[in-house]
Amino acid sequence: MTTQEVPAVRERVHTWGDPLATAAAGRDVDGLSFLQRMAAGEVAPPPIATTLGFDVREVEHGRVVFAMEPAEFHFNPIGSVHGGVLATLLDSAMGCAVHSALPAGARYTSLDISVRFLRAVGTGSGPVRCEGVLVHLGGRTATAEARLTDGAGRLCATATTTCMIFRPGR
């Protein structure tokens, strides 16, 4: 194969479902059940998940794991996965870890994320795994942390978050 055969322009098609349907499936259901249904493929993932190519793998009370295969379309100008893509996985894992501990009717929103980048992720990193864990669950706020590791188990990024909780009838 000659270098001319390497296409100068790459192309990718991605699809997603109606986000309102996913949002509706989450109403009136406790967070753990909702996320378990998503992991089982019974609820469509959010659009951003197929846009970036990540999905939820494990769900339990206070702990959620996401996975993603690093690809060229994730790259920053320096030739590695953009930190914002890693931040998206970390934010998702932490938010879902909080969500997994909420009763039906409660909602949450991330107030902030703090992300530390420890090792570059590239196409040679193997599939990355991102585990979010609930740290503190209070009446009005919750905090969580997450770790992202590469295919060899090496730590690539860590994060923490504070979420605001809206409980029904409060």
Q: Contact residues for its own copies (CB under 8 A)?
A: 6, 8-23, 26, 38, 45-48, 50-52, 72-79, 82-85, 87-92, 95, 107, 109-118, 120, 135-136, 138, 140-141, 143, 145, 155, 158, 160, 162, 164
Find out whether 143 and 132 touch, Cβ atoms under 8 Å. Answer: no
Q: Least distance (Å) from its own copies to the CB of residue 20? A: 6
Find out whether 96 and 64 touch, Cβ atoms under 8 Å. Answer: yes
Question: Cα dist. 100→11, 26, 109 in Å?
Answer: 36, 11, 13
Alpha-carbon gap, residue 125 to 123, rounded angstroms: 5
Q: What DSSP string runs through 135-149?
A: EEE-SSEEEEEEEEE
Nearer of residues 14 and 61 to its own copies, judged by Cβ: 14
Nearer of residues 83 and 126 to its own copies, judged by Cβ: 83
Q: Least distance (Å) from its own copies to the CB of residue 1? A: 15
Nearer of residues 89 and 97 to its own copies, judged by Cβ: 89
How many C-beta atoms lie closer than 10 Å to residue 147's C-beta? 17
Q: Least distance (Å) from its own copies to the CB of residue 54? A: 10
Q: Least distance (Å) from its own copies to the CB of residue 96? A: 9
